[in-house]
Amino acid sequence: MLSRQTLRASRGFAACFVSPQTPVLKNQRVPFSLSSKRSSAMRFIRYETSGRQGLGVALKEDDSIFDLTSFDPSVGASMQAFIAGGEDSVLKAKKAIENGKNVLPQDQVRILAPISDPGKILCVGMNYRDHCEEQNIPVPKEPVIFSKFNNSIIGPNDSIKYPDETEELDWEVEFVIIIGKEGKNIQESKAMEYVFGYTVAHDVSARDWQLQRNGNQFLIGKSMDTFCPLGPAIVTKENIKDPHNLKLWTLVNGVTKQEGNTSEMVFKTEAVIAFISRFFTLQPGDIILTGTPPGVGVFQNPPEFLKRGDVVEVGVEGIGSITNKIE
């Protein structure tokens, strides 16, 4: 087992909230880290301040948030549109960083989900070998795909609403692929060309509705309101040396529940993208949750489930972590 200190050393982010009256300052350092120890590539965020929303970028070397929307109003506040802009958008971000102005101080920023209304939220079930082992089931022969709705997306510090309709609320940390450009029938060898970056998701699950009711269809059990906390940022693919060798974890009230590594994925990033694109045209800003490691509550002995008041942290090495309270 990794110590909690070791886990925290690998995390890159924590969101914060502050007074909207604080002015924008040049070179003001934010206290929460939008960085990791892996490299200095750009990390894109959505923020809210003084009643407006926008896009920002941060670097490892300087944890300040460069306000892209203020620097160049043509950037707007849509992460999907920004991603669709491709190299032109990245160039604007580089110019904002080089300019060194329009820096948001800590007490003026609320971090939002990096994408709030993707065209598609696609998920891969049973995609970790060790997660299959804890269920005593064979690994799938092809990816098991389901979806979530946009109403499930919330930000890195927003509250998860405990639905009255379930008594079995469970946790799942997930490594998330962000699609960067349109593609259909993508070859596995070309799949990484369609990746913009990565983020973290909590695939909150109502196990009674997922596994016992609704004809064992996943949709209701996975798509209730607030069931997809997302964030805290999109880390560009250049910043992740190997997406298939990343630690990921879940803490509930500070207690480690899940510890895993993306090396245990049955179907890697390239295979997942190639498979999904056989059936759906992928668009910029589409998100793909790639599965969860062992340690979910339903397979504990006895089973464990979340309750109101619990605080859940999920994170992925090199990207960061998000923390949400159950209410």
Residues 118-137: what's their mean pLDDT? 97
What the block records as the tokens of 36 is: 């990791």
> pLDDT tens across 78-98, in order?
999 999 999 999 999 999 999
What the block records as the tokens of 63 is: 């944890």
Question: Do 62 and 189 lie in a common domain?
Answer: no
**pLDDT of res. 161:** 99
Question: Do 154 and 103 lie in a common domain?
Answer: no
**pLDDT of res. 1:** 40
**pLDDT of res. 64:** 76
Question: Do 232 and 188 lie in a common domain?
Answer: yes
Question: Do 99 and 125 lie in a common domain?
Answer: no
Contact predicate 20/52, CB 8 Å: no
Question: Do 137 and 106 lie in a common domain?
Answer: no
CA 116, 218, 122, 313 torsion-angle sign: positive
User: Which amino acid belongs to residue 140?
Assistant: P
Among candidate residues 62, 81, 112, the one where a domain is terminated:
112
Question: Do 291 and 166 lie in a common domain?
Answer: yes
> pLDDT tens across 234-261, in order?
999 999 999 999 999 999 999 999 999 9
> pLDDT tens across 213-238, in order?
887 788 999 999 999 999 999 999 99
Question: Do 274 and 235 lie in a common domain?
Answer: yes
Q: At residue 128, does pLDDT exceed 70?
A: yes
Question: Do 55 and 143 lie in a common domain?
Answer: no
Question: Do 167 and 190 lie in a common domain?
Answer: yes
The domain tally of the chain equals 2
Question: Do 142 and 78 lie in a common domain?
Answer: no
CATH number at residue 96: 2.30.30
The C-alpha R_g of the chain, in whole angstroms, comes to 19
CATH number at residue 263: 3.90.850.10
Among candidate residues 66, 85, 112, the one where a domain is terminated:
112
Question: Do 254 and 282 lie in a common domain?
Answer: yes
Query: Taking Cα atoms as reference points, which of 12, 51, 69 lies closest to residue 232?
Result: 12
> pLDDT tens across 312-321, in order?
999 999 999 9
| Distance from C-alpha of 311 to C-alpha of 174, rounded to nearest angstrom | 17
The whole-angstrom distance between residue 225's C-alpha and the CA centroid of its chain comes to 17
Q: Show the domain range for 259.
A: 121-325
Among candidate residues 83, 112, 141, the one where a domain is terminated:
112
Question: Do 101 and 135 lie in a common domain?
Answer: no
Contact predicate 234/178, CB 8 Å: yes
